[in-house]
Chains A and B, each alone.
Chain A
Amino acid sequence: SQELEQSPQSLIVQEGKNLTINCTSSKTLYGLYWYKQKYGEGLIFLMMLQKGGEEKSHEKITAKLDEKKQQSSLHITASQPSHAGIYLCGAPRTDYGGSQGNLIFGKGTKLSVKP
């Protein structure tokens, strides 16, 4: 069955440090979405990647999709306390009744940033 595995599960970094979160798929990715979730809130959409080798940036966050389209990374440069939260990757589902419009999600990476 299709699975998205995120690593690490949790991460504590000092403010100002760089960090990377990975999302690995058991099947070829036909799109990859990154979301951020703060405690008690919903998921906020960050970025979407579709093509192998694609890279997108927004402020200090950069997301990449590898050429083989089976892994994505999220990189935060010079982390700040405002970056703290849970980061989730999601991808179009291809193994559940052909419902490619639906998403499967990783279990999330919890990021804490120490001031």
Chain B
Amino acid sequence: NAGVTQTPKFQVLKTGQSMTLQCAQDMNHNSMYWYRQDPGMGLRLIYYSASEGTTDKGEVPNGYNVSRLNKREFSLRLESAAPSQTSVYFCAIKAGFNSNQPQHFGDGTRLSIL
């Protein structure tokens, strides 16, 4: 999807385990985003990075950390996974943070926490 690669595509974890979700883009876009999608809740923003070197909390940041490793990569880390974090996670990119250009999404990571 539009040059956004998410890994892994599926993952099952046990409660308390840690995990990092990876997102890489080949579009040279400045802004990157992490969302979670849950039934009945829609898409909710977890963290975002307006540009390389900056990260900010979104709507539901608790239990997560992020790293903008470079312009290409934005990772999401669950330090101690909880069943409430079972969800589908999407990474998105956009050319410029305050531009009106659309966000483009990866195919998602389906995460189950037992």
* A residues in contact (CB < 8 Å) with B: 31, 33, 35, 40-45, 48, 50, 88, 90, 92, 96-97, 99-103, 105-108
Contacts and interface: CB of A to CB of B under 8 A. Distances in A.
Nearest to A100: B98
Chain B interface SS verdict (over half): loop
A88 B43 contact: yes
B41 A107 contact: yes
B78 to A, nearest CB: 20
Given A96-B59, A101-B31, A42 B105 contact: yes
Nearest to B6: A42
Interface of B: 1-2, 4, 31, 33, 40-43, 45, 48, 50, 56, 58-59, 90, 92, 94, 97-100, 102-108
Nearest to A33: B102
A45 B104 contact: yes
A24 B20 CA distance: 36
Nearest to B38: A107
B33 A102 contact: yes
Contacts of B103: 33, 45, 90, 103
Nearest to B48: A102
B98 A101 contact: yes
A107 B107 contact: no
Counting chain B CB atoms within 10 Å of each CB, the highest count among A31, A40, A41, A99 belongs to A99
10 closest residue pairs by CB, A with B: A101-B97, A42-B105, A107-B42, A43-B105, A105-B43, A42-B107, A45-B102, A42-B1, A101-B98, A105-B42
B42 to A, nearest CB: 4
